[in-house]
Structures are given as structure tokens and as C-alpha cells.
Amino acid sequence: MFKGSNVALVTPFKNNQLDEENYIKLIHFHIENGTNGLVPAGTTGESPTLSHDEHQKVIELCVKESSGKLPVIAGTGSNSTEEAISLTKHAEKIGANGALIVTPYYNKPTQEGLYEHYKAINDKCGIPILIYNIPGRSVIDMSVDTMARLFELKNIVGVKDATGDLNRVNQTLEKMGKEFIQLTGNDDNAMEFNKRGGVGAISVTANIAPKLCSQFQESSLKNDDKSIQETAKLDEILQPLHNAMFVESNPSPVKYAAKLLNLCTDDVRLPLVKVTEKTKDIVEKALRLSKLI
């Protein structure tokens, strides 16, 4: 259903307003350059600082402009269950193919609270749901057992795993089998993640290197000697980019890289700020090493 290179889309701004023109160009850039799926209004899309109307707008534009050419996995999570339900119902109504729902941040729910949160969304919606497990940002970590319980529900289909713990892939595969979709949220571990049973990534780097990321994913999901060598070669090219994208808080570095590639401005919303001169040098060097500039 969802696999390969799915881009965690940045949200372009101009004078602190949504830059619809460049956002639409970005969507078509990905359609033309091999990206396998679009993920609007996630962390990389600065969802915490989007107004409710803007949040809905970026998903609507993504669905409209992709016109069914690529699946759209809308970021609809919140630490308010009712708000997550509202955003997910809206995404379903306008034709998104799935919803990416982050574990509730700040509230620190128990495992039972996590289960009930997702169950409430599941029960009110009819769209495939990916759990977004990212304890580094949301503080709480959903256990494999809790995911297994959720997988019994009609709409829960997989996880974006941003724990950085590769053993989770094996544990999840053993518990839920191959039908449970596992996508990494960590670009740098994508090769090993797929070796262990993952089927792709929701990628920050894909914003600026869609062809490389989709080629990498295509190669890594094959199981022959030639593909293994090709995957390792592509991973070596991509690693400097992956590392550069997280020198400072995401998405400031990737937006600067996008600016260098004339994709959009590097404007971010407070409390994020533009990257330092030192980080600019690191990003530019990584782009040159990957022959993107």
C-alpha cells in the first residue's frame, strides 16, 4: 500500500505566509522525479506552527495537485484526540490515501492511553492510518505490544518508526508479520531498516534528492546481489546529505538546501530560525558531494 520513498514535504513560506505557488511546484517536482508518496503537514512541514486552516489547505493542495498520481499520506496527528479526529476526517473527505498520526506529545499518555487515542480515531474514520512513533520529539514510546493491539483494528496499517532502534523492525515483524507496513523515519538507517523487513521511508532528504532516494529505495527492496551492491553505493552517496539535514533542527537545514536548489525560500516560522553560516557550509558541501549542485 505505502512503500518506497515517501517525502515528508516542507511547507514553503513567503513573508510568513503559505507560499502556494512554490508548494504546488514542489508537488510536481516530486511527481516528475520518482518520489513514491507525498506526506504533507508533518513535522518537516512545520505542522506545529500551521493554523488549522493552513493545515487543511496544504493537505487539500497536495491531494488536488497530485491528482492520484502519487498516494498522499496526510499528517493529521495532535495531542488532542478530538483535533486528530477532525483533521483525519477532513483528510479522508478530500481524498487523501492515508493518515500519519503522531503519538500525542506533551500529555505523556500511558500505553493504554495511546491505545484509546488511536482507537478513537480509528472508530471515527475510514482511512488507513500509520502510527508515527517518535519518542525523541513526543517523549513517549509506543510499545510493539500496543501496536499489535492497534493492528487488530480496521484502519491501523503500519508505522513510521523514528525510534532509531533497528531491533524494533525485527520485533514488529515477528509480532505482526509482513502485512504491517514498516517505514523508517530516520533516513540514515534506511538500508539496514529495509534489510530487516521495512518497506520504505518517510524521508526528509527526499525533499532535495527525490531521484536518489527513490532509486535507493527501489534497489534496497530487491533481494539480489546486483541490487545489494547498488544500494550500498547509493547509501554512501546519500549519507552526507542525511547527516547535513539534521545538523540543526529539522526542517531548517533542508529548507536551506531547497533554497540552494531554487525550490523554495529557506523561511521557517518561529520558534525555528534559519541555519547558521557554519551549517550552511555543511549543507552546501553535502549537496556538492552528492552532485546536486
Catalytic residues: 132, 160
- Output the furthest CA–CA distance in the chain (Å, rounded): 50
Given a contact cutoff of 8 angstroms between Cβ atoms, the answer to whether 89 and 56 are in contact is no
